[in-house]
Structure 1
Amino acid sequence: MKNSVILKKIEQNDIRCWWEKRYGPQADLEWMKYNGPYFNDPIQGWEEFYDFHQSKTLNNPMRKLIVYNNQIVGEVSAYWEDGELKQWLEVGIIIFNANSWGHGIGTLAFKQWIEEMFDLFNYLPHVGFTTWSGNVGMQIIGDKIGMQKEGVIRKVRYWENQYYDSIKYGILKDEI
């Protein structure tokens, strides 16, 4: 399976298919229930999605598509937690269709992504991500690829009349 999970730079001709998989009329929006749902991010329409990604994402090394068996199945991303200092890198992953969860695709893609980020920013000793206690799948991925649970901020994520923990995971370059 490893060879069939590819991280692909985003090109102009990918944007429409990417939007279709992420938000389109046939999209499985189950992923939105786990990707920080407490932020109430909207479902983006085609024009809004296109305009943003046309200018911000094409050939951006901080965001790639996950391709499995020649189909876009998700995306990986990275951002600087500390802004212009560029010393604290956080990463993320979304697998769009719930039918693709639990098959190791996310684990392989996320491991590749973290290795790629360490290669791209070879001065960094640490890469991490933040999730919440309602996203068990993300915690499993972190554990599977050898990340450490570095912090739990208890009962700070409020969703559907319930409080959840915010959870930080990280890995050091010499641990991969």
Structure 2
Amino acid sequence: MYLTDNQIEIKSITKKQLFELWSLAYNKSADLSWRKYDDPYIPNPLFLTWETFQTDLAEKMLENPHCGLIYFDKKIIGLVTAYWKDGQLQRWLEVGIVVYDFEFRNHGIGEKSLRLWITYLFQLHLHIQHIGLSTWSGNHSMTQLAKKLKLVEEACIPKVRFYRNNYYDALQYGILKTDWQKINNL
């Protein structure tokens, strides 16, 4: 896969990029501030060894049409993902995005990346009619991103995400294919 808007690129993950991705996202010396927003209420290790990353994550990412690296100025800065919320039925697709490098947050890169990604997924899976995005009320950047993309807040489950002795809401956004096509002139 190769997606671009001339400023950013989204590419399939190959073995060549795995070490760079691990260094950026999971290495002890990486900027791990992204973890404060990426479901911090789910107990995951803060960092992963290279060996654990290779065993647990890398193989699932390689050449996966539901996983792409975000590039800006030829540099990996983030990741877009998608997964089937309904398993083998494959009618309910959820998307995710993370910008690892703090320097590139709040510059519109996430918006451009996710716009490309959702368009690609609707084209890849012609049979689906809806794409969703789940987040939590503590992730203000993601809720703003969803609104900028004209995703609809479809559900708010109050006070179910517990993080640092506070309860947060679980939020579900989504969009129908017909609405996405209309909004984006496709």
TM class by smaller structure: over 0.9
Q: Which residue of 1 aligns with 2:61?
A: 57
Deviation at 1:146, TM superposition (A): 1.2
CA distance in 2, matches of 1:53, 1:4: 28
Moved more, 42-51 or 121-130: 42-51
C-alpha contact (below 8 Å) 1:38/1:158 kept by paired residues:
yes
1:2-151 equivalences under 5 Å are 2-42=5-45, 43-151=47-155
Cα distance in 2 between the residues matched to 1:126 and 1:120:
13
Count of aligned residue pairs for this structure pair: 176
The C-alpha deviation readout for 1:80-116, integer Å capped at 9, x for no partner, is 1111111110010000022211000111001111111
- Counterpart contact for 1:15–1:53, Cα < 8 Å: no
Q: Which runs of 5+ in 2 are unaligned?
A: 181-186
Q: CA deviation at 1:53?
A: 3.7
Q: Which residue of 2 aligns with 1:169?
A: 173
* Deviation at residue 26 of structure 1 after TM alignment: 3.1
For 1:146 and 1:102, how far apart are their aligned partners in 2?
A: 17
Structure 2 residue identity aligned to 1:166 = A
TM-score scaled by structure 2? Answer: 0.91
Report how far residue 57 of structure 1 moved: 1.5
2:183 counterpart residue number: none
Write out the 4+ residue segments of structure 1 that deviate beyond 3 Å after TM superposition: none
Q: TM-score, normalised by structure 1?
A: 0.96
CA distance in 2, matches of 1:131, 1:51: 27
Mean CA deviation greater in 14-23 or 47-56: 47-56
Structure 1 residue 52: Cα displacement: 3.0
SS of corresponding position for 2:94: strand
Identity %, equivalent residues: 39
Backbone CA RMSD of aligned residues: 1.2
User: How big is the shift at 1:54?
Assistant: 4.0
Q: Residue 150 of structure 1: CA displacement?
A: 0.7
Amino acid paired to 2:36: K
Report the Cα offset of residue 124 of structure 1. 0.5
Q: Aligned to 2:163, which of 137, 148, 159?
A: 159
Give unmatched runs, 5+ long, in structure 1. none
